[in-house]
Amino acid sequence: MSEKIFSKDYLINELDLPDSAIFDEITDNGRWSIYHRCIFEDSGKFYEAGYSVGATESQDESPWEYDDNVKCTEVELKEVKVKKWVPVVTASDLGRGLRAKLNISDDASLLTSDEMETYCE
């Protein structure tokens, strides 16, 4: 895993982070802080950095406020196949017109997600 140390000043003043991040997501939150993960580009490479901000207007916390340097991990965008649990769709969940068009009887059994994808294409 390739890591690089960036100065906080460079990230904020030169790269305009976290505002200019390619990707930014909230990863966790606490009573006082909201924790983020962001992806940014520097010299043709992409890096991931974590930061936190105040959870309310009363918490005056800015990104990397307590750090002079930030350790970032080089990342790449990859397509990843993910399995997840999804609700089962029954034939009765489909409208009558769509069932007729697809030649599915009103008393048809449960459809798998693969069948649903086929019917809905």
Six-digit token pair at 108?
Answer: 């048809």
What is the rounded distance in angstroms from the CA atom of residue 32 to the CA atom of residue 34?
Answer: 7
pLDDT at 90: 73
Q: Is it the case that residue 88 has pLDDT exceeding 90? A: no
pLDDT at 69: 98
Helical ranges in 25-121 per DSSP H? 96-101, 113-120
pLDDT at 121: 56
What is the rounded distance in angstroms from the CA atom of residue 76 to the CA atom of residue 45?
Answer: 8
For residue range 99-113, list pLDDT tens digits in order.
Answer: 566 666 655 555 556
Query: What is the value of pTM for the model shown?
Result: 0.68
DSSP state of 31: S
